[in-house]
Structure 1
Amino acid sequence: MFNLFRKKSEIEKLESTFKKLMKEWHELSSVNRKLSDEKYAMAQALIPRIDQLKKTNETF
Structure 2
Amino acid sequence: MFGLFKKKTEVERLQEKYKELLEKSHKVSHSNRTEADKLMAQADEIAQKIDQIKKNY
1:36 maps to a residue whose letter is A
Alignment gaps of 5+ in structure 1: none
The Cα offsets for residues 12-39 of structure 1, whole Å up to 9 and x where unpaired, read as 0000000000000000110111111110
| Cα distance in 1, alignment partners of residues 14 and 53 from structure 2 | 10
| Cα distance in 2, alignment partners of residues 2 and 27 from structure 1 | 35
Aligned residues: 57
Between the two proteins, what is the percent identity of the paired residues? Answer: 40
Runs of 4+ in 1 over 6 A off after TM superposition: none
Alignment gaps of 5+ in structure 2: none
Map 1:1-60 onto structure 2 (within 5 A). Answer: 1-57=1-57
**TM-score normalized by the length of structure 1:** 0.86
| Cα distance in 2, alignment partners of residues 19 and 38 from structure 1 | 15
Q: CA deviation at 1:52?
A: 1.1
**TM-score normalized by the length of structure 2:** 0.90
